[in-house]
Structures are given as structure tokens and as C-alpha cells.
Chain A
Amino acid sequence: MHRILYKEKLGPDITLFKFMAPDVAAYREPGQFVLIRISDEGERIPITIADVDRNDGSITLIIQSVGKTTLELAQLSVGDSIPDIAGPLGKPTHIQKVGHVVCVGGGIGTAPLYPVARGMKDAGNRVTSILGARTADLLILEDRMAEVSDRIIITTDDGTKGKKGLVTDAISELVEQGEKFDQCIAMGPPVMMKFVCLLTKKLCIPTIVSLNPVMVDGTGMCGGCRVTVGGKTKFACVDGPEFDGHEVDFDEMMARLNTYKAHERRALEHYSGETGCRLDASIPGGAR
């Protein structure tokens, strides 16, 4: 069992948890994820690890409540436990000194981005971070990202914080101002990653993205997470989750994310019926 040591609400429907998971914490590197199960009848959901603390054996997961499991999870409090956390899974981020790195985080995508940005900073890179969200409430980890960045830019779709516009506008603007980036790391909703990649491809900036498709086991056994990268089928769980963003077939990946949309609605209705509460419509983008 994995006890909750700490819980913090970062925004509407966004919760930070510290779980006791010493086995996972021991060898985890930035970029890796876990599969969690919150009850004996629960599904296995992949979540990228935002941080670990090897002193107390805890891992930090940031969860956006969009479906039944993530809503149920958000109800848990410090002292409660969940039965399963398996990991760390996936390949770690290839962190090296390249020069100037632009880290682009969209919404909850900033959670997996944070350890990578920190790693890049520690490796001696200059780090520019661009954090975007639909609205100010959905921005997370701004302070922490600022600590590991030489420069930080905020964008919101509705202009409630930072610049009004998209993260891609911010990238273009910086490049127009003469900034040179040796590497881009983009994590966020698939559609954001897709458009960041379209832009950085034109700008010839190598781009890493972190994908979060549907998974079951996370060890390469089910193949549910297959994505097309450079014309070849890859399993995000063992070959990724990070890939060369310029090679990823985002349209196929986004379509595949819809496989269980109808089921997710049913699960949510069933859950609402059980708990008697009326839940708001889900937020697109998926849990991370």
C-alpha cells in the first residue's frame, strides 16, 4: 500500500500528491512514469513522475481530474493509501548539455516537464521556459519552473495571466527577437505538442515530446500504447514515453486517445450515480 504523505490543490481539478513509494523513488530518473491503481477494481493509469524524494521515499504525482479514477483519487486525503504504484517505467530523458533549451509546458504537462527542465539546468544548459494554459487557474508549478529557468514566459488563451495567446506564439516571438534554441522539450495536450512540433520543425529546433497514450501494463505486453514514429510502430511504454516530436504521427495518436471516450463517459455517469454528486463535464487533455 502507498500512503499519501502530502496533498496540495494546485488549481481547479489539479491536485499534487506525495505518495510513499520507496521502490519507485530509488532508481527513478526524469522522464519516467508510473502506473497506478487506486482500488482493487481499479484501472491502471499512467502518470509521469513530477519529483521524487529519496530521503523519505516519496514520489510526487500531479493529477488532473478528468475521469472516474482521477476524480476518485482527488477525494483521497493525507493518510489514505492506494494499493498499487508500479514503476519507474519508460526510458529516462536523455539529459545532456546542448546549450540553450526551451521547455514548453501546456497545462498539466508542466508536471512531467519540471524534472526535465531541472535536469537540463543542472546539466549546465541555459533554460527558457514557456508555460501555457487556457486560463490562469490552470497554470501550475510556475514558481518551481522559475527556479530552474533562466527566463520564464507565461501565456494564457484568454489573457488572464501573462501574454494572451498560445505557447507557439511565444516561441515564434522569441525566435524573431533573435533567440537561438538548440533543443525544445514540449509536454502538454497532444494538440499543443503537435503545433509546437510543426513550428519547431520549420525553425529546425530538435524537439522532444512526452506521449501519454492509453496503457494497460506499461511493460510492452499489451501494445495498446502504440504510436507511429518515423513511419514505424513504437510502444510508448517501453520505447518512450519521449520521442522525437518531428517524427510522431500526432493525428493518429489523438484519434487513438478517443478509443475509450464513450466508456469513460459511462464510467463517469456510473460513478456520479453512485456518489450522488453532479460532476462537471470533463476537461479535454487527459490526466497526466
Chain B
Amino acid sequence: MLCDHQLVIEHINDYVENKLSPELKQQMESVFSSCPDCSATHKKCLELYQMSFEWQSQAVPEWHRTSYAVRPPVKSSSWLNWGAMATSSLAILMVVFQLEVSSGNTGLMISFGGNQSEAKIAKMVESQLANYKVEQEKIFQVKLDNSLERQNDQTKLRLANWMEKNRDERQQDIKFVMTGWQSQRYEDQKTVDRQLSYIADNQIENNQVINQLIQSVSTNQKNFPGESEQTNNL
């Protein structure tokens, strides 16, 4: 029968440690007797198991057990703790003894035990409220003045900008009109020049015709003097 060693793989350790049920133990022993390979494995496992008890435990060399791991405790400054404790105690005492501090016409008054009468407290509250009202009015007035001043400045600035912009637009309009007028004038001047030139040309032609006529008249007088005399007589 071929052995697939699976039983040995599964239970060899438990067999060596004697933890198997009698049935399994018997099966294992049967495998060991039939398979020399498994028998050798069992032998080696037993040796290794026994060998593990032969190890002589070595002492650990001296080493620092905390420097690498434990952070040194953070030292907080003691005066801070004492200061905090003193302040807390003072606050508690002030509450316990009902410490009251008030300022009036006679100056600063510190009293213990809450001996301020209701009327005094009411008067004090009223006075404080009046003061508060006056202060608030002052603050409101200052804020209003500031706001008005700011608004004025903005208006002036806006006006100045508008005027500046308007002036530029007017200047541009005038320039445009002037340019148009100048170009129109130039065109008119050109027309006048053209007309004058035409008149001058006509005058020259007229002069030439007149000269030709004069010449022809003078030539006729030379050729026909009688006619010219008659003509003159006439």
C-alpha cells in the first residue's frame, strides 16, 4: 500500500507529545511500521522534541530597558501649578465671602458679606445705565459724523470724476466740429481755386480770340484800305 504521508503530516507532533486518541495512535503506528519514510520522520520529530529540552537558556546581557521606549516624564513648571492653585483659591474665597467692589462719588468701595441695600443697587444700576446711554449716544454721534463725512467725500469725488469726464467729452466734440469745419473749408477753397483757374483759362482763350480778331481786322485794312475808309466814314 502506498503511503501519502498525510496522516503523519497532520498528527506527527501530537503523536510525539502523546496527545492522540488510541485509535489515531494505532493508525499512526501502523503507518510507521509500513512506511520507512514516515518512520524516519517520526524518529526525527522525536529527536527534535527531546532536543528542545536540551537548550540551555542563556542569560540576557545587561541592557537599558527603558531608554528606547519610555519617554521621560514631562516636568511641568511648579510655579505655574502653584499660581493656578492660588488664583483658584482666591476666586473661591471671593465667592464665599461675597466680595463686592463698587465705585461711587466717595471713591472705590470694597465690601464683604453682600451688605449693599436693594435701593443702592437699583440706584447704581440706574446710574450705570444712564452712563451707558450717554456713552452709546456719544458713540452713535461719532459714528454718524464719520458716516456723513465719508458720504460727503464720496459725493465730491464722484462729482469731480463726472466733471472731468464731461470736460473730456466736450473737448472731443469741439475737436470733431473743428476738424469737420476745416475739412469743409479746405474743400470750398479747392472749389474756388478750381473756378478761378477755369475763369483764368477762359480769359486767356478770350484774349487769344480777341487778339486774333484784332489781327484779322488789321490785315483786312491793309488789303482793302477804301473799304476801311468807308467803313470809317460810316
Partners in one complex: no
Binding site for A on B (CB under 8 A): none
